[in-house]
Chain A
Amino acid sequence: MQKEYTITVYTEDRIGITNRITVIFTRRGINITSLTTAETEIAGVYKFIITVISEKEKLVKIVGQIERLIEIHRAFVHEEDEVVYQELALYKISTKALQNGNIELLIRENNARILTLTDEYFVLEKTGHQQELIDLQAKLAPYGLIEYSKSGRVAVVKWSRRFHDHLKELETRRPDNLKQAQYKEHTEVSAEEESI
């Protein structure tokens, strides 16, 4: 059944890694609906958070093919209830709209906040799940929405404690022979830790 899934991928810091990951989705004709990436708490290890609308069975195979890439540590596909996630949107609105009493109510009800205010426009920020951000955009449209921008997903996995121990352990290992930094010799990770 087609539905939205979150995929997390832990990678080495290497030029072109985004390309290597996305081309695997391209091959199977799957559209990536959002992609967020940043360094994790472990220096040199990056986390990709990808959202797609597809089928679980297909995505499990895709995740297997992603993991096969040399510079990937692990990749996972998560159901909606396995992750806590947030997205962020910015809304640029004409300042004239402030003269309308209803906008104050909208801001309060949506827990949005004003980031900046000029004579011409103001910028609202809201975090939440995708649909909440889209709903607010629809509600703001009549007030003269000038620009709207939404982020990809930021997510943490509910069952990930041991994996982060594993990541921390990686920090103690040599990244690879192309990096000159001195790292202490690696020790084998037990099978249990490997399996998150």
Chain B
Amino acid sequence: MQQKDVLPMKPEPTEKRAATTVPLNITGSEAVIRSLIAEGVETIFGYPGGAIMPIYDALYDFQDKVHHILVRHEQGATHAAQGYARTSGKTGVVFATSGPGATNLVTGLADAYMDSTPMVCITGQVAAHLLGTDAFQETDVIGITMPITKWNIQVTRPEDIPGAIAKAFYIAGSGRPGPVLVDITRNAQVAKFDFEYKKCDYIRSYHPVPELDTEAVKAAAALINSAKKPYIFCGHGVLLAGAEKELIALAEKAGIPIASTLLGLSAVPVDHPKYVGYLGMHGNYAPNIMTNECDVLIAVGMRFDDRITGDVSQFVKQAKVIHIEIDAAEINKIIKADVAVHADAKTALAALIELVEPKQHDEWIKGFREADKKEEEKVSRKELYPAEGGLKMAEVVRLISERTEGKAVLVTDVGQHQMIASRYYRFKDPNTNITSGGMGTMGFALPAAMGAKVGTPEKEVVAVIGDGCFQMTLQELGTIYQSEIGVKIVILNNNFLGMVRQWQQLFFDKRYSSTEMINPDFVQIAKGFYVPGRKVTDRADIVAAVDEMISHKGAYLLEVVVEKEDNVFPMVPSGQPIANIRLE
């Protein structure tokens, strides 16, 4: 990343002082920046304002060490930090001011909390003596964000800043990751103190790395060894633990088919012989229905979301369940585990591989392939190779998948296009699927794609966005231009809030209440932000347009007008058993 205008550097007297043994007497603001540098932070997504100005002033002296990306809305900063964290594996960092700056973080914090994304948000706050007085731009950000952060803290004295930031990074990145918020009052930012930084590696009431229970691993291995139809669910925890290789090794050794959750996508290459598809309400047919056929279910790093289970009372009743999960509160929360392995996925799987017997279950896996044919015939073929009519979302996604060889980072927003992209993109490499899973936050993709690109500049990043979603955060095109972030933006435009429309068609008697959109000219909008683009309406033009987008250096927006009233199938109607999955 390069700054457009490199601002002249102020002299740095404090640097010299650091070399001596005299304690570094600096402001709280400078301590914030030095603490972040000590944590290895290179990129910050943020937006300045009154209560955080001293911190921004301190940042001015460290522009060669920390790159600040000025977003256009604080929500954009949070999603960018999420995209950054999920591609780079580092903790995303956000700056925002007090009051409205802080409240604009709420959606992103909640999203990061649901999707276990490490993020540290630093907010400015009014001076300590004004707390609770309804001062200008004062809001109780600690109270507001308490249920949607892994931890938060308000700092009112400069000497507490290094400790709070150290603890914030430790908590955000350890165990089951999550967002943390540090609120720093203005007086703590401006007062001076003797700075010293020590990383945090221990909190006596917090045990992020559970000790592996070898008895539980033995019990799990015994179940797997006696299973006729074992079945693996691969969740986000596999990616977070970096346990993709172990998972695949287990599946290969014991001959077990693997299905993925939405956030587990990309952990296992789509073309792997043991991979059987994507689970959930709009997932693949075979992996969904086979859930009720297996005799041992091995759920790894996932939390049995209702979009996966459907009606819980009729979900895997016939099978023994092994649940490998780092968060104790997730075990037995939705599905009772017969064997609970409370551990990091990588540790648990490595131990499990040693104890499972080499086996193959070819007939069992063949069952999945048979069921696939039904989906292929009823759904996929029509979606991918339509003989007539308007462009289909699926054919556009599959074309992008082919042209990027499945190696791009795919960032999706929320709705029909998200489900289609998750179904038809053929992922090859881990951590290349970035989407808002638990929260389903519309407007996530554009800012998340910016962060994903900054986190992995060497990779192609393609954001697939619906016309509704795009209009929620499109101002981030300004950030993309200013910070020269080369993301590829594909708007699948059906002039509808497609998923809501689909539900209205199927469950609300086709009463299309407030779902049709009269849209602006997206290519003109991009042009206004100096982002080149193109609009495609005909099937004949799509290949050339996708090629043009991919070969373009820098950001590019491709608007594809797709079939207006299309539905995503398969579909498990909300709250119903998986067996009721519909193919049309």
A175 touches B198 (CB 8 A): no
Q: Is B305 an interface residue (CB 8 A)?
A: no
Answer whether residue B21 sits at the interface, using C-beta atoms and an 8 A cutoff. no
Contact of B205 (CB < 8 Å), options: A12, A27, A177: A12
Bound state CA distance, A178 and B161, in angstroms?
A: 9
Residues of A contacting B331 with CB < 8 Å? 64
Asked whether B200 is an interface residue with its Cβ less than 8 Å from the other chain, the reply is yes
- Cβ–Cβ < 8 Å partners of A72 in chain B: 205
Distance A173 CA – B205 CA, assembled complex (angstroms)? 10
Name the residue on B nearest A171 (C-beta). Answer: B204
CA–CA, A155 to B171, complex, Å? 32
Instruction: Tell me if B517 counts as interface (CB < 8 A to partner A).
Output: no
CB neighbours of A186 from chain B (8 A): 202, 204
Q: Are A70 and B150 also in contact (CB < 8 A) when A177-B167, A177-B198 are?
A: yes
A-B contact count (CB 8 A): 62
**How many angstroms between the C-alpha atoms of A27 and B110 in the bound complex?**
15
Stretch at the interface among B67-75, B141-149, B505-513: B141-149
- CB B343 to nearest CB in A, in angstroms, measures 13
- Whether B204 lies near A174 (C-beta < 8 A) is yes
Smallest beta-carbon distance A75→chain B, Å: 11
With CB as the reference atom, state the residue of chain A lying closest to B199: A177
Minimum distance in angstroms from B419 CB to a CB of chain A:
28
Q: Whole-angstrom distance between the alpha carbons of A177 and B205 in the complex? A: 12
Residues of A within 8 A of B171 (CB): 70
**How many angstroms from the CA of A191 to the CA of B210 in the assembled complex?**
11
Contact across chains for B211 and A177 when beta carbons are under 8 A apart: no
Contact in complex: B328, A67 (CB < 8 Å): yes
What is the size, in residues, of chain B's interface with A at 8 Å between Cβ atoms?
27
Contact (Cβ within 8 A) B327 A23:
no
CB distance from B335 to the nearest CB of A (A): 12
B328 with A68: CB separation less than 8 A: yes
Q: Does B544 contact A (CB under 8 A)?
A: no
Beta-carbon contacts of B195-237 to A below 8 Å, as 1s and 0s? 0001010111110000100000000000000000000000000
Write the nearest CB–CB distance from B581 to chain A, whole angstroms.
Answer: 28
**Cβ contacts under 8 Å, B484 to chain A:** none
Expressed in whole angstroms, the minimum distance between the Cβ of B564 and any Cβ of chain A is 39
Name A152-196 residues within 8 Å CB distance of B: 170, 173-178, 186, 191
A139 within 8 A of B: no
Q: Which of A15, A16, A27, A186 has the most CB of B within 10 A?
A: A16
Which B150-185 residues have a C-beta within 8 angstroms of A? 150-151, 154, 160, 163-164, 166-167, 171
Residues in chain A near residue B327, CB distance under 8 A: 68
Per the bound structure, the CA–CA distance linking A65 and B198 in Å amounts to 30
Does the CB pair B146–A19 fall under 8 Å? yes
Nearest-CB distance from A89 to chain B (Å)? 33
Could you tell me if A70 and B151 are in contact, using CB atoms closer than 8 angstroms?
yes
Contact B163 A170 (CB under 8 A): no
Does B333 belong to the interface (CB within 8 Å)? yes
The verdict on A178 contacting B164 (CB below 8 Å), with A11-B205, A186-B204 known, is: yes
Let me know if B200 and A70 touch, CB within 8 A. no
Chain B's nearest CB lies how many Å from the CB of A107? 45
Interchain CA distance A31-B154 in the complex, whole Å: 28
B167 pairs with A176, CB closer than 8 A:
yes
Partner of B202, one of A60, A68, A170, A174: A174
Contacts A19-B143, A178-B167, A191-B211 given; does A64 touch B206 at CB 8 Å: no
Query: In whole angstroms, what is the CA distance A53 to B171 when docked?
Result: 33
B9 at the interface (CB under 8 A from A): no
Cβ distance A90 to chain B, nearest Cβ, rounded Å: 32
Query: Quick check: A176 and B328 within 8 Å, CB to CB?
Result: no
Q: Chain B: which residue is nearest A172 at the CB level?
A: B204
Given contacts A70-B203, A173-B204, contact A178 B328 (CB under 8 A): no
A67 to B331 Cα, complex, angstroms: 13
B204 contacts across to A, CB distance below 8 A: 12, 73, 170, 173-176, 186
> B22: CB under 8 A from chain A?
no
> What's the Cα separation between A36 and B150 when bound, in Å?
25
Q: Assess A23 versus B166: contact at CB under 8 Å? Given A68-B329, A176-B203.
A: no
Within 8 A of B (CB), among A48-76: 60-61, 64-65, 67-68, 70-73
Q: With the chains together, A175 CA to B328 CA distance in Å?
A: 23
Within 8 A of A (CB), among B330-355: 331-333
For A60, the chain B residues whose CB sits under 8 A away are 332
Across the interface, do A73 and B205 meet the contact criterion of CB distance under 8 Å? yes
Task: Report the Cα distance A181→B243, complex, angstroms.
Answer: 39
Chain A nearest CB: distance from B462 CB in Å?
Answer: 35
Q: A residues within 8 A CB of B164? A: 178
Measured between alpha carbons, how far is A19 from B167 in the docked complex, in Å?
20
Residue of A nearest to B329 (CB): A64
Q: Which residues of A contact B147 (CB under 8 A)?
A: 23, 27
Q: Are B163 and A67 touching (Cβ within 8 A)?
A: no
User: In the complex the two chains form, is A70's CB within 8 Å of B328's CB?
Assistant: no
Give bound CA distance, A177 to B328, whole Å. 25
CB contact under 8 A between A65 and B166, given known A27-B147, A170-B204, A177-B198: no
A61–B333 touching, CB < 8 Å: yes
**For the complex, what is the distance from the CA of A186 to the CA of B207, rounded to whole Å?**
13
Chain B nearest CB: distance from A147 CB in Å? 31
**Chain A: CB-nearest residue to B143:** A19
User: How far is A72 from B211 in the complex, measured between Cα atoms in Å?
Assistant: 18
A20 at interface, CB cutoff 8 A: yes
B333 to chain A: closest residue by CB: A61
Given contacts A61-B333, A70-B151, A70-B205, contact A177 B146 (CB under 8 A): no
- Find out whether the CB atom of B146 lies under 8 angstroms from the CB atom of A16: yes
| Given A23-B146, A67-B328, A175-B204, 14 extra CB contacts under 8 A | A11-B205, A16-B142, A20-B146, A61-B332, A64-B329, A64-B333, A68-B327, A68-B328, A70-B171, A72-B205, A73-B205, A176-B203, A177-B198, A177-B203
Q: Can you show 22 pairs from A to B with CB atoms below 8 A apart?
A: A15-B154, A16-B143, A19-B143, A27-B147, A61-B329, A64-B333, A65-B329, A67-B328, A68-B327, A70-B150, A70-B151, A70-B205, A173-B204, A176-B167, A176-B200, A176-B205, A177-B163, A177-B166, A177-B167, A177-B198, A177-B200, A178-B167
The 3 closest A-B pairs by CB, nearest first: A64-B329, A178-B163, A68-B329
B residues near A, CB below 8 A? 142-143, 146-147, 150-151, 154, 160, 163-164, 166-167, 171, 198, 200, 202-206, 211, 327-329, 331-333
